[in-house]
């Protein structure tokens, strides 16, 4: 028997395929403003709906609404989607989101974005939070403070970076040579002081004889010097005594 070939076109179902979700404002449904500009993260591809008027009113880093041609083509930005969504929440005439639940990494990312796009409503809370975590995140705090000119935070954080390796500071600073040079000079002064305190030069009396003292030679001096460093809150003795 000859086989009969069914030449009826076969229809494939595309029910599983869906259109890309429209970019929405992070404050929906509380925000009822129409989305007239789309931001896209080049990190994760996230699309964030925004409003040209809000970008103009709440920042000095985005162009004014009448300076650009209306378009719904995504505008690429270098921040990740979560950071952009959080930043947009500071660019509405509504209560700003609480910052207390954010992890330090998110705070630094938001602080960087706020400074970059000059979103003043987000700058202040980020600065205040970073000022509180300089002891636990000194290198990142120092780099943030130097980059955006917060000398009080930089001075507070610098002391806690002395025992951090050059490689780590270089990583956090993104190889900012100006910052690295200033930090190396700052750190070197403490290293020299610690070396002199922990390994004092021998003392010779008026007759030219070397002064023999158990406090000087047996190591008690190092114990005393370490106690002084601890009392001053200086971490330098940790890297020199180890």
Q: What is the 3-state secondary structure (H, E, C) of the chain?
A: CCCCCCCCCCCCCCCCCCCCCCCCCCCCCCCCCCCCEEEEECCCCCEEEECHHHHHHHCCCCCCHHHCCCCCCCEEECCCHHHHHHHHHCCCCCCCCCCCCCCHHHHHHHHHHHHHHCCHHHHHHHHHHHHHCCCCCHHHHHHHHHHHCCHHHHHHHHHHHCCCCHHHHHHHCCCCHHHHHHHHHHHHHHHHHHHHHHCCCCCECCCCCECCCHHHHCCHHHHHHHHHHHHCCCCHHHHHHC
Please tell me the pTM assigned to this model: 0.72
pLDDT of the residue at 9: 42
**Percentage of the residues of the chain whose pLDDT score is greater than 70:** 73
Say which residue, 199 or 9, is predicted with more confidence: 199
Per-residue pLDDT tens for 95-131? Answer: 999 998 899 999 999 999 999 999 999 999 999 999 9
User: For residue 231, what pLDDT band results from cuts at 50, 70 and 90?
Assistant: low
User: Between these two residues, 53 and 224, which has the higher pLDDT value?
Assistant: 53
Provide the pLDDT for residue 222: 58
């Amino acid at each position: 028997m000859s086989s009969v070939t069914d030449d009826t076109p076969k229809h494939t179902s595309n029910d599983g395929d869906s259109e890309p979700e429209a970019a929405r404002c992070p404050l929906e449904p509380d925000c009822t403003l129409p989305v007239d500009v789309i931001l896209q993260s080049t990190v994760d591809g996230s699309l964030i709906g925004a409003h040209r008027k809000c970008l103009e009113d709440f920042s000095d880093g985005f162009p004014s609404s009448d300076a650009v041609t209306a378009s719904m083509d995504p505008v690429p930005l270098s921040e990740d989607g979560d950071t952009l969504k959080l930043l947009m929440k500071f660019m509405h005439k509504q209560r700003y989101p609480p910052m207390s639940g954010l992890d330090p990494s998110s705070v630094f990312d938001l602080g960087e974005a706020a400074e970059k796009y000059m979103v003043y409503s987000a700058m202040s809370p980020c600065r205040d939070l970073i000022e509180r975590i300089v002891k636990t995140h000194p290198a990142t705090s120092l780099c943030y403070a130097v980059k955006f000119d917060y000398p009080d935070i930089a001075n507070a954080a610098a002391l806690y970076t002395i025992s951090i390796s050059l490689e780590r500071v270089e990583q956090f600073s993104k190889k900012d040579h100006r910052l690295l040079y200033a930090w190396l000079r700052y750190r070197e002064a403490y290293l020299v002081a610690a070396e002199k305190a922990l390994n004092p030069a021998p003392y010779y009396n008026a007759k030219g004889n070397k002064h023999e003292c158990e406090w000087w030679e047996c190591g008690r001096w190092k114990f005393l010097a370490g106690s002084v460093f601890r009392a001053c809150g200086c971490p330098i003795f940790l890297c020199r005594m180890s």
